[in-house]
Amino acid sequence: MNETPSETRSVVVEREIAHPPEKIWRALTQPHLMEEWLMKNDFSPVVGHRFNLRGEWGGVLDCEVLVVEPNKRLSYAWNFAHEDPAYDLKSVVTFTLVPTSTGTQLRMEQVGFRPDQRQAYGGARAGWQQFFENLERVLAGMN
């Protein structure tokens, strides 16, 4: 059976954050800051750069930078290879930053969850909420 994009679901988290896009961009692209709110990584904000995100739960995500528009948009492949198709995820995460009068509207969208990946989808929905809370805490501690 051929899958069409309409058969996949996405997780979207949007928040108004009281920090300028430039500061949020640093937290999204500097590996030591990413480790504080997301996961251990070997990230570099260069299109085509392949990197890993290493979760505390022991999983390793294979990623590749797809889009880098400083202070505006960042997108990367977010893939988790697993023998169980319900967890074998090929997705794309995109961060969009829009300046507002009080800071930045930050939008994260992770696309690519198949209908049989209910648990992975639910985990991502909960996980991204936690990541955003961590991100806001990291931002509050940055200069």
Is the sign of the CA dihedral 12, 74, 6, 82 positive or negative? Answer: negative
Residues 113-134: what's their mean pLDDT?
A: 95
Q: Assess whether pLDDT exceeds 60 at residue 6.
A: no
pLDDT in tens, 23-79: 999 999 999 999 999 999 999 999 999 999 998 878 899 999 999 999 999 999 999
DSSP string covering 26-88: HHHH-HHHHHHHT-EE---SSTT-EEEEE-TTS-EEEEEEEEEETTTEEEEEEEE--SSTTT-
Question: Does the pLDDT at position 12 exceed 80?
Answer: yes
- Residue 5 has a pLDDT of 47
> Which residues, including other chains, have CB under 8 Å from residue 120's CB and lie 6 or more apart?
80, 86, 87, 89, 113
Residue 2 above 60 pLDDT?
no
- Residue 4: count of CB within 10 angstroms of its CB: 7
Q: Is 40 buried (19+), middle (13-18) or exposed (0-12) by CB count in 10 A?
A: middle
| Amino acid code (one letter) for 122 | G
- Residue type at 13 in one-letter notation: V
- Distances in Å between the alpha carbon of 125 and those of 41, 46, 99, 120? 21, 27, 25, 9
What's the CA gap between 22 and 130, in Å, rounded?
Answer: 22
pLDDT (average), residues 4-16: 85
Question: Which of 13, 2, 36, 4 lies closest to 124, judged by CA?
Answer: 13
